[in-house]
Amino acid sequence: MPMRMPMQARGAVARDLWRLLEPIHAVVYFAPEPLEEFKAVGYRGFWMGYFAGRAAPLGHVGADVVHALFYNFAYERVSRAVPAAWDFAPPDEALTARVRGSVRALSRALGPEADSAEVARAAELATRAARSAPFEGRALFAANRSLPVPQEPLAQLWQAATLLREHRGDGHVAALTAAGIAGRESHVLHATASGIPRDVYTPARDFDEAEWTSRRDTLRQRGLIEDGRLSRRGQRLKVQIEERTDQLAATAYAALTISETDELTRLLRPLTHAVVREGDIPLDNAMGLNLRESLDQP
């Protein structure tokens, strides 16, 4: 009988797989090819393409829903992009553009390996995990799950990575909400914990000095920050949030055996390293991901 991994162990595996899958998904935000595709269908500027591409599985959705589900953006930024984006190109065109651009970007990064049996097998395993993941209470994941599964392996891998990251993201939002950490505060909490420079969040999430200071003061008043660092209470809360996120994300991998999970990890590692080394994704980013770990790998 195939061995299934205990839930506690799956939490650690879910975090490892997130580190490997997130860069594969994230080419849609940072690589030039998706940006070209969004521009070609009519979206104006980076942010309209970002919100249209990520929100497209939800249909002709407006700013309130996108702001709620994406959780940590400034409402003013969201409302400038949607629903106006749908006047330039409907959601179906955004969906086509994001897959086409992402596949082009991954093909460039992977070179000959883009058509390999390893990519096809990784796509098969990741898709099986993604399609088996529970979707109750996970609106953004459920919207992506409703899309057809691509037949081309590289497109299938990108979509599976997207499903699994949105599944994890919905769970992370639930963990933050339960901990009483608002979306904008979550950036300040993570930056304080990780040492990511504050100026990363100025272009990425529209923070000015006044808002950053206000959010930091709120966390300090709760006893989560002391002397510019997380307090012991803040450290405990951060660990609890991350562990709960891992536990919720781990439910996606229950369909895989231990050997299949190990195989997926092994197959993804060189693919992710190639994507990171291509240099499109900033090493300092607002995704909560330490990409320097990938650069340090052989």
pLDDT tens for 146-170 read 999 999 999 999 999 999 999 999 9
Higher-confidence residue: 297 or 38? 38
pLDDT in tens, 225-265: 999 999 999 999 999 999 999 999 999 999 999 999 999 99
Q: Give the pLDDT score at 284.
A: 77
Residue pair 264/125 in contact by the 8 Å Cβ criterion: yes
pLDDT in tens, 186-208: 999 999 999 888 888 888 899 99
Distance CA 124, CA 194 (A): 34
Distance CA 109, CA 274 (A): 6
Distance CA 237, CA 243 (A): 10
Q: Give the pLDDT score at 143.
A: 98
Alpha-carbon 68 to chain mean position: 16
Q: Residue 180 corresponds to which tokens in the numbers above?
A: 């009483």
**Hunting for tokens 């949105």 — which residue is that?**
166
Domain positions in the chain are 7-283
* pLDDT tops 50 at residue 138: yes
- Sign of the dihedral through C-alpha 237, 286, 288, 144: positive
* pLDDT tops 70 at residue 294: no
Distance CA 277, CA 298 (A): 11
